[in-house]
Amino acid sequence: MIVPSFLLKRLYVKGSLRNNDDGFQLQLRNSLGSGYAREMLPLTLDGQEIPKENCSFVVEGKETRFTQVSPENPFTLALNRDTTLLVKGQTLSPGAHRIGIGFIVQGIGPLSFEVTDVLGDPV
């Protein structure tokens, strides 16, 4: 099964790219259907890979590092629920940035997409 990247791009909340106290963040909102990833792929920023150790996601107040995602502890994209992706130790300069997001889904394989967004006001 192949999921086109134009559908996956709909997960990204346009305008959510912001610096925060520890680095930067962005939002995902799943309007496609519930899904589970057994592994997170490294985020990319303007073509450069960000170590998974520096990345985490927050769902309903619970933060989970990308390195903690496994078949036993999947990354869940519940329908119509917001997920915040956090990158620690790196802030963004003003302007547009290209972000790559990817994960491995059981029974489908690797899925990834890129979005370009302009840095908004800090959180």
Burial code of 20-34, b = ≥16 C-beta within 10 A, e = fewer? eeebbbbbbbbeeee
Answer whether 111's CB lies under 8 Å from 105's CB: yes
Q: How many CA atoms lie within 13 A of 60 on its CB side?
A: 6
CATH architecture of the domain 5-118 equals Sandwich (2.60)
pLDDT score recorded for residue 108:
87
Per-residue pLDDT of the chain (123 residues; tens, 9 = 90+): 567 788 899 999 999 999 999 999 999 998 887 778 999 999 999 999 999 999 999 998 999 999 999 999 999 888 888 999 999 999 999 999 999 999 998 888 899 999 999 999 987
Grouping H, G, I as helix, E, B as strand and the rest as coil, residue 52 is: helix
Q: What is the structure's pLDDT at 103?
A: 94
Q: What is the pLDDT of residue 1?
A: 58
Residue listed under structure tokens 């956090």: 86
